[in-house]
Amino acid sequence: MSGIAGFINLDGAPAAGTRVDAMLATLQRRGPDGSHAWRGENAALGRTLLVTTPESRIPQPWQHSQTGCVVVSDSRLDNRLQLLRALGINGHPDTIGDGELLHAAWQHWGRDCANRLRGDFAFALWDPREHRLFCARDPMGVRPFYLHHRPGQLIAFASSADAVLAHGGIDRNLDEGRIADALIGETEGIDATRTFFLSVQRLPPAHTLEWHDGRLRQDKYWHPLQDQLTGLPTTDDEWIEAQREQLQRAVQLRLRSQHPVGSMLSGGLDSSSVVALAGRLRQQADEPRFPSFSAINSRDPGCAETAAVHAVLAATHSNGHLTDLKDMDALAPVLLEWWQRMGEPFDGTMVLGASVFHSASRAGVRSLMDGVPADNFFTTAGYDHALVRRGQWRAAWQVKREYIAAYSSPRWAGLKAAMRLPGGLLAEGLMQVRHIRSERKEFAGLVKASLIDPAFTIRVDLQGRFRRYRRNIAQHAQLSPDAKLQSSLGVAYITAGIERYNRIASHFGIEPRPPFTDRDLIAFQARVPWHLRLRDGRPKWILRQAMRDLLPPEVLWRPGKEHLGATFSATLLQGLPVPLPEQLQTSPVAAYVASNKLQVSAEHWRNTPTMLRIVLLDQWLASRLGTCR
């Protein structure tokens, strides 16, 4: 992880070096190992460096001596050797920087170059001869990319919204729709482009951006069902073996570093699998135990998450670093300072995650793996209805029964499945009516549970925003026409979650490396047969089978998803003075909440997610007073 920033004066005005310096100054936590900038006639690009891989030490911005093209990147390219061979670049791989490699890929493949890359990346290439800017972001958006475009005048980009705004010539007006999203929480992932600032957007994952001849274009170069695979398994045992091989390959690629790499460990199946495989690779190489980082509650002997963490540590080649809830008082100053600097109000809810990132940073780890977003890997949504439409009633009933048993209750699962299946044959119009009713009910519940001002919800059309959020989920829960390929990893709320992890990690100088965002693993996962995704009422059945010799049974078949996150947040809040209703009513957030409800609820704010969201939004708004309106 590094920080990149730059701008192009589209009107040809000279580029002021002080502007790119100001942008880079906001990215120092992302790149504490050095900051460098390049300035041309009407363009300036820069990077703040966090050294992780050997090639990351090679200076950027990188400029080609003949073409004059300049490249900045925040990248870890996992197929470097294949790219070097394909592009005819000689020399030791560690001496070839990503700037040179990306430039060669652009010269050889043009816009298709991003589709040839594997790994995590966000980069920009400026061609001063053709006055052309080309940018790209990795398939799952692990590396962030924010931009501002004022036609005919300016393009600015950076690794954070604050860095874009630091350019100084960009309006800082807030997007009130995002403020409403922050108050209800659910619509954080409404899309993959909006930010809290009207003048700043995100380049969506798996997209390229190109400016040339006065025109700006964005193109999507990948989706989860796109890649063609050959030699797929044919038996259940082969699928299980391949599942392990694919995940182990993704983990191994993310172990490549000049500095220690670790992983979060929650005791859930996903992060436990990552730690077990990384530990096994370390053990086979006769290397020290793999560092893992967990949050526990030693005061609660019945805490399932704490027990699971200890079970994994006992069964794997891992060195566990534990952040205990009882030590929250000592952590409070660090976490409160992070709240003062959080990139978005959504970030502040992840007190547990911030605590773990802080622990990793103190241990000297620079890159951290995790289990995100594996919960979406094994989706079965819509598969039963697809089978009904194809006349495969018995198979559809089995699918529905397994789904109900896994996510609801095994009691009367077969009967419930039979009663619910006819929905798969409903005419499109009736299905729409059902969805609309469901959306209205869910939206009404969210608004009722919040303290948002009713007039504000109308002003920003919050119900319309919620509808778009739900549509995004439906549109990206992809199922191929033959119902053999399925993936939901293009959904915007997954992007939002990955970006939130990145913002928090960057505050502590940590580079996220989630193995489950590996493009080739995603392509494999989309083809896993349904009966291996969910069986005997157990979701992720194939992963459980693949890990059965590495993880203890109590973790492998753990039924619940208990999580200490809410407890960590509540404990931090308990150490703060309660903001009196009068104080909140005169604070920045007062313009967006219902004062009559606030008078009653503020006394109980410590234990409610609703009040936590209000306090975090108020903190975020206050930190930007004088720069926003």
* Residue from 500, 171, 170, 529 nearest 344 by CA: 500
Fold observed for domain 3-220:
Glutamine Phosphoribosylpyrophosphate, subunit 1, domain 1 (3.60.20)
Largest separation between any pair of C-alpha atoms in the chain? 72
* Residue from 68, 70, 11, 29 nearest 46 by CA: 70
2, 47 Cβ separation under 8 angstroms: yes
Average pLDDT over residues 619-625: 88
> Which of these ranges, 280-289, 351-360, 468-477, has the smallest mean pLDDT?
468-477
Report the pLDDT value the prediction gives residue 418, as an integer from 0 to 100.
79
Residue 579 pLDDT level (bands cut at 50, 70, 90): low
Query: Beta partners for 134?
Result: 125, 210
* Comparison of pLDDT for 57 and 439, the residue scoring more: 57
* Residue from 58, 127, 148, 145 nearest 96 by CA: 58
97, 24 Cβ separation under 8 angstroms: no
118, 519 Cβ separation under 8 angstroms: yes
pLDDT per residue over 195-224, tens digit each?
A: 999 999 999 999 999 999 999 999 999 999
Helix (H, G, I), strand (E, B) or coil at 442: helix
Instruction: Give the whole-number percent of the chain exceeding pLDDT 70.
Output: 94
Tokens 């590996």 appear where?
518
Helix (H, G, I), strand (E, B) or coil at 295: strand
Report the pLDDT value the prediction gives residue 582, as an integer from 0 to 100.
64
Compute the distance between CA of residue 121 and CA of residue 513 in angstroms, rounded to an integer. Answer: 11
Q: Is the pLDDT of residue 95 over 60?
A: yes
First to last CA, the chain: 32
Tokens describing residue 180: 């409403």
Q: Is the pLDDT of residue 139 over 70?
A: yes
Q: Is the pLDDT of residue 514 over 90?
A: yes
* Comparison of pLDDT for 489 and 503, the residue scoring more: 503
pLDDT per residue over 41-81, tens digit each?
A: 999 999 999 999 999 999 999 999 999 999 999 999 999 99
- 0.85 surpassed by pTM: yes
SS (H, E, C) 211-271: EECCEEEEEECCCCCCCCCCCCCCCHHHHHHHHHHHHHHHHHHCCCCCCCEEEECCCCHHH
Is 223 exposed, middle or buried, given 0-12, 13-18 or 19+ CB atoms closer than 10 A? Answer: middle
Report the pLDDT value the prediction gives residue 624, as an integer from 0 to 100.
84
Which DSSP helix (H) or strand (E) runs through 50? none
Which CATH architecture is the domain 236-376+493-566 placed in? 3-Layer(aba) Sandwich (3.40)
* Residue from 214, 210, 209 nearest 152 by CA: 214
**Residues sharing a CB contact under 8 Å with residue 582, sequence separation 6 or more, in sequence order:** none
Tokens describing residue 600: 């009653």
Residue 498 pLDDT level (bands cut at 50, 70, 90): very high
Residues of the chain with CATH 3.40.50.620: 236-376+493-566
Compute the distance between CA of residue 304 and CA of residue 297 in angstroms, rounded to an integer. Answer: 10
Residue type, 29: R
> Which of these ranges, 122-136, 149-163, 310-324, 552-566, has the smallest mean pLDDT?
552-566
DSSP string, 120-182: EEEEEEEETTTTEEEEEE-TT--S--EEEEETTTEEEEESSHHHHHTTSSS---B-HHHHHHH
Residues of the chain with CATH 3.60.20.10: 3-220
pLDDT per residue over 297-312, tens digit each?
A: 999 999 999 999 999 9
Report the pLDDT value the prediction gives residue 198, as an integer from 0 to 100.
98
Compute the distance between CA of residue 597 and CA of residue 618 in angstroms, rounded to an integer. Answer: 16
Give the strand order in the sheet containing 207-212: 62-63, 70-77, 119-127, 132-137, 207-212, 215-220
How many Cα atoms occupy the beta-carbon half-sphere of 319 within 13 Å? 13
* Comparison of pLDDT for 42 and 599, the residue scoring more: 42
* Residue from 49, 52, 58, 59 nearest 24 by CA: 49
Residue type, 141: G
Residue 629 pLDDT level (bands cut at 50, 70, 90): very low
Classify the C-alpha dihedral 66-67-68-71 as positive or negative: negative
